[in-house]
Structure 1
């Protein structure tokens, strides 16, 4: 058979193939947009819960089934960042916002306060932090300002972040920012001293 004489699929079969490919593309696009969309919606609900906490000092859950609540708000003015920080730094709270490591000092209190976030959503802005930048941490007791003093990459298999008595704020995310595989051992650690 000559190449020009190839059998052409019937139009109906081509239409179904086109529709199938379109549905597959929409499904993949929806899946890719799910995590950022969830993070954005969660921040709106968290803002409302934070407003309640500031008003009466109580632990307001952002939605009825939430197993966390807002404990602080981070502000990085140069980068246009303002985020509610949740109690806990396990998987579920981190899906919705930065999380406070409850083994560290309470946000706003003396000591080392550790806050973690995902590199591809809430803490993606850490990529643009520079030495000397300042970040404020708002709690029910007021606002504390911190200045960036160090930025390090550490291996979580060999390095532990000390929760010493040193008065500091430590922001932690996974490294590198453009990694394609999740759960790598490297962490990007930004250390900030009170101003």
Structure 2
């Protein structure tokens, strides 16, 4: 009888551990999956924005809207207005208080390293970065350098001379926990705008 009880307890424990493992795997996959599905909805909203000439929300309860499309390292992402947790949960965000990409100064777009901006580690000096704005104009930027800085000492000046775009994500890219360091990919405008 005790051997049978031990076998049943072992099976129950194995089933419980399997369920816990599945739960953890599902939780780990949730954020990247949510970001991938959101990009499809954001693409539709950005297309409506371009067609209608006014901001279109990706879903009725969204508190942000698409402001640009960013092409970097062979990937394309719709950029949302704002850099709070809400926009960044779904895609890259254009930080408030920085100019639009292509305007005088330094525009800043940030995203999570485990969703969209893990690709930043592949960029090097001279690599292209393309931004299409809500007005349909497309701008080409070139990477001028990369650096790592603390989030509170980035040295990014939104009012710097020239026309720059900085792409920002957490550092190191493969870390599992949040930390104070950020990877900053610095770019400058390389060509004039054209309509897409």
Query: Normalized against structure 1, the TM-score is what?
Result: 0.90
Could you tell me which residue of structure 2 aligns to residue 126 of structure 1? Answer: 120
Larger mean Cα displacement after TM superposition, 27-36 or 104-113:
104-113
- How many residue pairs align between the two structures? 186
CA RMSD of aligned residues (A): 1.5
Once the two structures are TM-superposed, the CA of residue 111 in structure 1 deviates from its matched residue by 2.7
Which residue, out of 56, 62, 65, partners 1:66?
62
CA distance in 1, matches of 2:95, 2:145: 20
Could you tell me which residue of structure 2 aligns to residue 188 of structure 1? Answer: 183
Q: Secondary structure at the match of 2:3?
A: coil
Q: Secondary structure at the match of 2:143?
A: strand
Could you tell me which residue of structure 2 aligns to residue 154 of structure 1? Answer: 149
CA distance in 2, matches of 1:101, 1:19: 46
For structure 2, the residue ranges without an aligned partner over 5 or more in a row are 191-196
Could you tell me which residue of structure 2 aligns to residue 91 of structure 1? Answer: 85
Could you tell me which residue of structure 2 aligns to residue 4 of structure 1? Answer: none
Alignment of 1:35-114 (within 5 A): 35-76=31-72, 79-114=73-108
CA distance in 2, matches of 1:157, 1:113: 17
Which residue, out of 15, 27, 52, partners 1:19?
15
Note if contact 1:74-1:83 (Cα within 8 Å) is conserved in structure 2.
Answer: yes
Q: Secondary structure at the match of 2:60?
A: coil
Runs of 4+ in 1 over 4 A off after TM superposition: none
For structure 1, the residue ranges without an aligned partner over 5 or more in a row are 1-6
Note if contact 1:74-1:135 (Cα within 8 Å) is conserved in structure 2.
Answer: yes
Query: Normalized against structure 2, the TM-score is what?
Result: 0.89
CA distance in 1, matches of 2:17, 2:153: 46
Q: Secondary structure at the match of 1:153?
A: strand
Note if 1:174 corresponds to 2:170: yes
